């Protein structure tokens, strides 16, 4: 039945299109109808693009009939976080500061995806200017967590995650500066890939911190993440056949990443580690010197660049911003240029030390986030709670951004909990094979 298509993986949909079992036009109409009928439509999608979606679906259907499909995802409908430029359609990055901003051309990764035949369903809601890990946005809309309608869905790619988790897109494209792909992925039981900085182009992507900003998919399976990576950069997806955990050497990052875990994230992570071990992985527990120092630098490095990027726009109309996000940006105002440069020089050294300390392992593993999705109403009414929960939500994911690595989060099987694998930068193909092996073990 057509409704079943809404819950299939992107890879499975692509194979069904190739086999002539699913018509891309019918598939797109099924998604558009589901979006329009959904009670939370306007809290998930900022804008739906039905005309574009139908035109792209018709073209995909014609290619399928002629045997000229452009790739394994040709004809598959996906969503885009509202910081990816879309020609002729507003791109406002979840902020009233950018209300009415209409780009003239698509972001480069969107052009690549369109070239691979993917269908653009529309733009999803997000944290304001992407500067929070919770997904709360009183300025526009707050998508709810799929597992708890009273809780946030994680940010900043909040709507991207919920569009997939609620069957309103086959995959969502988000961005990750400090955890914005991985947090909403874990809280909505999805797979999320944080690519290495520079792996995918950010041309036409509304920036937050250019040195940390990355593009990444939120999806149902590791295969989908691999297929989407290939589509976004115009490459060939890595072969995941036969991937296994047997003989892999994994390092649990002790100390900071394991501190202050709430009960469910701890239980989900421990259960996942046990299953990886049962599948043949060798697991050691180690600390890496310099991680805590890098976290101390994070406040300066993120806020100074974010405020430097947005200062003029923000201070022209600060009343248009949600107060907690405004405060996060303004925290960057007090840092000197010399301290910023010195901080980056020190972080580069810490990254080199991390690479040396972890070189003997296939991946570093840690709980994706130490907390469960917080309650929306309490976050809106209690500023101190917002600050504390936001910092905790981002703590573990920021390790991956600070160390400059590639990261993949997988659901553990316990709702809204996840395990993350970290590998050196630009090794996404190896990461995805490890992830495919881990996915099988965790299943």
Catalytic positions, written as ranges: 81, 156, 180
Nearest to residue 276, comparing CAs of 244, 243, 241, 239? 244
- Which positions ≥6 away from 370 have C-beta within 8 Å? 259, 260, 261, 262, 265, 392, 393, 395, 396
* Collapsed DSSP state (helix, strand, coil) of residue 217: strand
* Tokens at 28, concatenated: 């797109």
Q: Rounded to an integer, what distance in angstroms lies between the CA atom of residue 167 and that of residue 170?
A: 7
Pairing mode, if any, of strands 214-219 and 172-176? antiparallel
Q: Rounded to an integer, what distance in angstroms lies between the CA atom of residue 63 and that of residue 61?
A: 5
Nearest to residue 432, comparing CAs of 208, 223, 188, 256? 223
Nearest to residue 252, comparing CAs of 367, 394, 401? 367
Q: Rounded to an integer, what distance in angstroms lies between the CA atom of residue 404 and that of residue 416?
A: 25
Instruction: Decide: 265 and 300 in contact? Cβ < 8 Å.
Output: no
Location of structure tokens 């970290």: 422
CA angle (85, 305, 371) in 5-degree steps: 85
Q: Rounded to an integer, what distance in angstroms lies between the CA atom of residue 391 and that of residue 380?
A: 16
| DSSP secondary structure string for all residues of 81-146 | ETTB-BTTB---TT-GGGTT---SS--HHHHHHHHTT-EEEEEE--SGGG--SS---TTS--PEET
Q: Rounded to an integer, what distance in angstroms lies between the CA atom of residue 31 and that of residue 48?
A: 11
Q: Rounded to an integer, what distance in angstroms lies between the CA atom of residue 13 and that of residue 9?
A: 6
């Amino acid at each position: 039945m057509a409704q079943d298509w809404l819950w299939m993986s992107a890879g499975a949909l692509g194979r069904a299109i190739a086999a002539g079992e699913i018509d891309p036009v019918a598939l797109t109409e099924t998604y558009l109808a589901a979006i329009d009928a959904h009670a939370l439509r306007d809290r998930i999608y900022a804008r739906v693009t039905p005309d574009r979606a139908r035109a792209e679906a018709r073209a995909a259907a014609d290619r399928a009939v002629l045997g000229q499909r452009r790739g394994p995802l040709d004809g598959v409908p996906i969503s885009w976080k509202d910081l990816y430029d879309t020609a002729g359609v507003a791109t406002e990055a979840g902020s009233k500061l950018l209300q009415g901003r209409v780009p003239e051309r698509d972001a480069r990764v969107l052009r690549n995806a369109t070239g691979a035949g993917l269908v653009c369903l529309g733009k999803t809601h997000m944290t304001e200017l992407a500067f929070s890990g919770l997904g709360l946005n009183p300025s526009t809309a707050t998508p709810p967590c799929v597992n708890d309608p009273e809780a946030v869905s994680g940010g900043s790619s909040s709507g991207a995650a919920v569009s997939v988790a609620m069957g309103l897109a086959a995959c969502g494209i988000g961005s990750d500066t400090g955890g914005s792909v991985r947090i909403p992925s874990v809280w909505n039981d999805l797979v999320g890939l944080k690519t290495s900085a520079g792996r995918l182009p950010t041309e036409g992507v509304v920036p937050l911190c250019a040195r940390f900003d990355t593009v990444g998919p939120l999806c149902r399976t590791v295969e989908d993440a691999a297929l989407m990576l290939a589509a976004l950069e115009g490459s060939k997806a890595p072969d995941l056949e036969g991937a296994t955990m047997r003989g892999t050497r994994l390092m649990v990052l002790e100390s900071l990443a394991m501190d202050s875990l709430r009960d469910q994230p701890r239980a989900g992570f421990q259960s996942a580690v046990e299953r990886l071990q049962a599948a043949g992985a060798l697991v050691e527990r180690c600390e890496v010197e310099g991680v805590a120092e890098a976290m101390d630098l994070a406040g300066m490095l993120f806020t100074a660049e974010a405020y430097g990027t947005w200062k003029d726009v923000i201070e022209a109309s600060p009343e248009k911003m949600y107060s907690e996000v405004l405060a996060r940006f303004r925290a960057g105002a007090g840092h000197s240029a010399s301290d910023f440069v010195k901080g980056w020089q020190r972080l580069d050294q810490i990254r080199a030390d991390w690479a040396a300390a972890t070189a003997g392992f296939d991946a570093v593993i840690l709980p994706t986030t130490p907390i469960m999705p917080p309650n929306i109403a309490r976050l809106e009414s209690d500023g101190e709670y917002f600050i504390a929960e936001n910092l905790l939500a981002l703590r573990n994911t920021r390790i991956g951004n600070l160390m400059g690595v590639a990261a993949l989060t997988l659901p553990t099987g316990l709702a809204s909990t996840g395990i993350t694998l970290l590998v050196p930068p630009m090794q996404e193909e190896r990461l995805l094979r490890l992830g495919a092996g881990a996915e099988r073990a965790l299943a």
